[in-house]
Chain A
Amino acid sequence: MTLIQKLLAGAGVAGTIFVMAGPAQAAKLAISCGAVGQELSLCKEGVEAWSKKTGNDVDVISTPNSSTDRLALYQQMLASGSSDVDIFQIDVIWPGILGNHFIDLNDYMADEAKAHFKPIIENNTVDGRLVAMPWFTDAGVLYYRKDLLDQYGENVPETWDQLTKTAQKIEEAERKNGNDKMWGYVFQGRAYEGLTCNAVEWVASYGGGTIVETNGDISINNDKAKQAIATAAGWIGTISPDGVLGYDEEGARGVFQSGNSVFMRNWPYAWALANSADSPVKGKVGVAPLPKGGDDGQSAAALGGWQLSVSKYSKNPELAADLVKYLTSYDEQKRRAIKGSYNPTVADLYKDKDVLAANPFFGDLYETFTHAVPRPSTATGTNYNKVSNDFWQAVHATLSGTQTADQALPALEHKLKRTRRSGW
């Protein structure tokens, strides 16, 4: 322990004694949720309702929108044992990375947790400890141009092969008609976490596993995975622009929303934007589950979304847990679903009339949300980012043609084994 840490610890102890000696009084909490914009204002409204109910003050801390920046900031705060923030909003892939710093919420809301989607609760459980409560979920979906499919007499594709054929056909026909910016399919191909999501979907849809299985086995080097990634590599330059290798969510949405692509893989957020008043594709867009990998494959959507965790350095863990319980409850998730289209994690809400009235496609996608495929973040623990980084590098190299899938995946397996040397 350094001198500074000692001094800080001393100050902490002194502070605790002071608080305990004083009369019971309203505490002050700090929650980090959202950045700015609608996400933050929804969070603020929820938090205010709770503070009115319980008489406690809560500060809402805004954090960067970029999840890498946000993770870095959280790590810095938590590693120093800072008690400045009590409740953290964390990404679905962070429980394994940050879990050490959070309290076990099973002590406070084990019953409530049962109402939430099971895969997410499993994802958030690290070594038997529920380190985070699901707040809202996200899953990859396929967007398509209804008008173009109708015009060319095509159906919504159910397998990747169908998607490739349909995309190719419409792209060629449209280009012949003078629309030379037309492409077939756009997705997130930039070398970043989004590519891991996309590629996990391809691999899982062919039945090729999830890179690292829940028991810690490295499964990525198999023929189905190779087939999946090779298929995707075939899209580049044919149905997808070369630039897709640099697209994130907004890059892909820009192309699709300007009317320059038949299909797009994205998160549900793009729905409202693609149908906004000034959108060139307003009213022409449909949403469907992602295609299967062949007839015996399955539709697989990567699990996204955000959770709430309570820091173990918090001075008021009980109160903080109560706020988490409130924010993740049925009623609060319902309010957020209606007002901001945030996908609830409470299964019953997908049958709620008011929610469905506000978000008609929630009902159709219920299966997609309940069966979303988690990335191997819980199995790989603090090593997840490294695993994901190695994975997207291998996929990116295959997509950009510097390697074949047959070369990339054995090399990736070797790399992952080296990382696992001292255990996940």
Chain B
Amino acid sequence: MNAKAWKYLRKAAFWLLVAVIVLFAVFPFYYAILTSFETGSALFEVNYLPESFSLINYISVFKGQPFGHNIFNSIFVSFLVVALSLLLGVTASYALARVKFAGRGLLLITILSVSMFPQVAVLSGMFELIRGLGLYNSMFGLAISYMMLTLPFTVWVLTAFMRDLPRELEEAAVMDGATPWTVIRRVFLPVMWPAMVTTGLLAFIAAWNEFLFALTFTLTDDKRTVPVAIALISGASQHEMPWGNIMAASVIVTLPLIVLVLIFQRRIVSGLTAGAVKG
């Protein structure tokens, strides 16, 4: 086989792979969009292409509850969680990755062990804590409880990335007498973008999707986050599942995340490969 044909074949194989990946990832979402346009008995039929188009599910999602409010709450909590986790995570991981001191390994294990209990086991204690702090039914209470879910992860991932950065990177700055905070800001932050954006994004989604705490620590409709609001959508009676509405709501809440990824994805590919620093 000549080189040219080989090249085309490789290209075709690559695009086939991309197509398979996209299909596998997107198909259920596509099916959700399809379902969100259907009503009544049409839901019980298998369709591959849109057969009816009705926005009634989308309208009723916003009519039945303060869904706009719920989206705002979710965005607010998620951004707060990301900001707090990254701030605490970056400083802590600098200390854990770049400074030698006794007990570092033990400390990392301890932080990790927080993630070894099932969420439901801490629910009760967390509930008392949140009420004790007077943060029941408040976005701040939720954000604080989410720290337990995102902090261990953020600290560990950022530490792993920071540890691999070459030593020369900060040496010059340290010799110049820069404070650790300046070193973090001036030297590490610029090269840490891919890791920061990635962990930030993952923390954002974790907070965005969390259900158990959000359900338990909020009470009124105007304080609910999106997953809880979706779980609260019900039909005319106890057993009826308003499938079309649920799918419409899911499509609505997934869109902001897609936009977010599209905005930040350039950041994921900058960083070291952009030639900011060569080790």
Asked whether any CB of A lies within 8 Å of a CB of B in the complex, the reply is yes
Assuming the contacts A64-B215, A80-B131, A250-B239, asked whether A37 and B233 have C-beta atoms less than 8 A apart, the reply is yes
Do B231 and A39 touch across chains, with their CB atoms under 8 A apart?
no
Q: How far apart sit A306 and B238, CA to CA, in the bound complex (Å)?
A: 10
CA distance A69 to B238 in the complex (A): 13
When the two chains form their complex, are residues A65 and B40 in contact, meaning their CB atoms are under 8 A apart?
A: no
Number of interface residues of A (CB under 8 A): 52
- Can you list 8 A-B contacts (CB < 8 A)? A5-B128, A35-B233, A37-B235, A61-B219, A64-B232, A76-B124, A269-B236, A269-B239
Q: Does A257 contact B (CB under 8 A)?
A: yes
Is A258 an interface residue when CB atoms closer than 8 A count as contact? yes
Is B179 positioned at the interface, with any CB of A under 8 Å from its CB? no
- Could you tell me the distance between the alpha carbons of A306 and B239 in the complex, rounded to whole angstroms? 13
In the assembled complex, which residues on chain A have CB atoms less than 8 Å from the CB atom of B235? 37-38
A36 within 8 A of B: yes
- Check B123 for interface membership: any CB of A closer than 8 A: yes
B42 CB–A CB distance under 8 Å: yes
Interface string of A65-100 (1 = CB under 8 A from B): 111010001001001101011000000000000000
List of A residues within 8 angstroms of B128 by Cβ: 2, 4-5, 80
A34 at the interface (CB under 8 A from B): yes
B270 at the interface (CB under 8 A from A): no
B28: Cβ under 8 A from any A Cβ: no
Say if the beta carbon of B27 comes within 8 Å of chain A.
no
The answer on a CB contact under 8 Å between A39 and B236 is yes
Can you list, as one digit per residue, whether each of B109-129 has a CB less than 8 Å from chain A (1) or not (0)? 000000000000001100111
Chain A residues near B238 (CB-CB < 8 A): 39, 65, 67, 138, 267, 269, 306
Q: How far is the CB of B193 from chain A (nearest CB, A)?
A: 40
Within 8 A of A (CB), among B62-90: 64-65
Q: List the B side residues contacting A279 at CB < 8 Å.
A: 40-41
CB distance from B64 to the nearest CB of A (A): 5
Looking at A221-229, A270-278, A398-406, the stretch in contact with chain B turns out to be A270-278
Residues B200-245 near A (CB distance < 8 A): 215-216, 219-221, 228, 231-242
Interface residues of A in 35-68 (CB under 8 A from B): 35-40, 59, 61-67
Known: A76-B123, A79-B124. A64 touches B231 (CB 8 A): yes
Alpha-carbon distance A39/B233, docked complex (angstroms): 11
A250 vs B242: C-alpha distance in the bound complex, in angstroms? 10
Instruction: State whether A59 and B236 are in contact (beta carbons under 8 Å apart), knowing that A254-B44, A258-B41 are contacts in the complex.
Output: no
- Chain A residue numbers with a CB within 8 Å of B42 are 278
Does B132 have its Cβ within 8 Å of any Cβ on chain A?
Answer: yes
Residue contact B65 to A69, C-beta cutoff 8 Å: no
B176 near A: Cβ within 8 Å?
A: no
Closest residue on chain A to residue B64 by CB atoms? A36
B45 CB–A CB distance under 8 Å: yes
Cα-based distance from A221 to B173 in the complex (angstroms): 79
Residues of A within 8 A of B241 (CB): 65, 250
- The CA-CA distance from A245 to B190 in the complex, in Å, is 56
Query: Which residues of chain A are near B242, meaning CB under 8 Å?
Result: 37
Is A69 in contact with B231, judged by CB distance below 8 angstroms?
Answer: yes
- Residues of B near A283 (CB, < 8 A) are none
Whether B132 pairs with A8 at a CB distance below 8 angstroms is: yes
Q: Assess whether A110 is interfacial by the CB under 8 Å rule.
A: no
A249 within 8 A of B: yes
Chain A neighbourhood of B123, CB < 8 A: 76
Of A67, A250, A258, most B-chain CB atoms within 10 Å = A250
Which B residues lie within 8 Å of A38 (CB)? 235-237
**How far, in angstroms, from A37 to B233 measured CA to CA in the complex?**
7
Q: Contact: A4 with B129, CB < 8 Å?
A: yes
Task: With CB as the reference atom, state the residue of chain A lying closest to B237.
Answer: A269
**Judging by beta carbons under 8 Å apart, are B233 and A73 in contact?**
no
* CB-contacts of B88-143 with A (<8 A): 123-124, 127-129, 131-132, 136-137
Interface membership of A340, Cβ < 8 A = yes
Kindly report which residue of chain A lies nearest to residue B211, judged by CB atoms: A69
Identify which of A30, A62, A84 contacts B232 (C-beta below 8 A). A62
Chain B contributes a number of interface residues (CB within 8 A of A) equal to 36
Question: How many Å from the CB of B41 to the closest CB on chain A?
Answer: 5
A15 at the interface (CB under 8 A from B): no
Tell me, in angstroms, the Cα distance from A194 to B41 when the chains sit together: 23
A258 touches B215 (CB 8 A): no
Q: Is A7 an interface residue (CB 8 A)?
A: yes
User: Cβ of B239 and Cβ of A278 under 8 Å apart?
Assistant: no
Chain B residues with Cβ below 8 Å from A269 are: 236-240
Cross-chain contact A80 with B215 (CB below 8 angstroms): no
With a cutoff of 8 Å between Cβ atoms, the chain B residues found around residue A59 in the complex are 220
Residues of A within 8 A of B39 (CB): 278
Query: Is A280 on the interface with B (CB-CB < 8 A)?
Result: yes
Residues of B within 8 A of A306 (CB): 238
Q: For residue A270, which residues in chain B have a CB less than 8 angstroms away from its CB?
A: 239
Q: Find chain B residues with CB under 8 A from A4 CB.
A: 128-129, 131-132
A37 near B236 with CB under 8 A, answer: yes
User: A235–B106 Cα gap in the complex (Å)?
Assistant: 59
Q: Which residues of B have CB within 8 Å of A76?
A: 123-124, 127, 216
Residues on the B chain within 8 Å of A272, using CB? 236
- A62 neighbours in B (Cβ, 8 Å): 65, 221, 232
Report the minimal beta-carbon distance from B172 to chain A, rounded to whole angstroms.
50
Q: Which of A354-390 contact B (CB under 8 A)?
A: none
Q: Which of A138, A248, A257, A267 contacts B44 (CB 8 A)?
A: A257
List of B residues within 8 angstroms of A64 by Cβ: 215, 228, 231-232
A:1-37 near B, CB below 8 Å: 2-5, 7-8, 30, 34-37
User: Are B240 and A34 interface neighbours, CB within 8 A?
Assistant: no
Give min CB distance, B66 to chain A, whole Å.
11
Decide if A65 touches B220 in the complex (CB within 8 Å).
no
Besides A8-B131, A138-B238, 11 more A-B contacts (Cβ < 8 Å) are A37-B234, A65-B232, A65-B233, A73-B216, A76-B123, A76-B127, A80-B131, A254-B44, A267-B239, A272-B236, A279-B41
The residue in chain B whose Cβ has the minimal distance to the Cβ of A84 is: B219
Report the minimal beta-carbon distance from A285 to chain B, rounded to whole angstroms.
13
7 tightest Cβ-Cβ pairs between the two chains A and B? A4-B132, A35-B234, A65-B234, A269-B237, A249-B239, A38-B236, A278-B40
Q: Are B237 and A73 in contact (CB under 8 A)?
A: no
Residues in B whose Cβ lies below 8 Å from that of A67: 238
Q: How far is the CB of B131 from chain A (nearest CB, A)?
A: 6
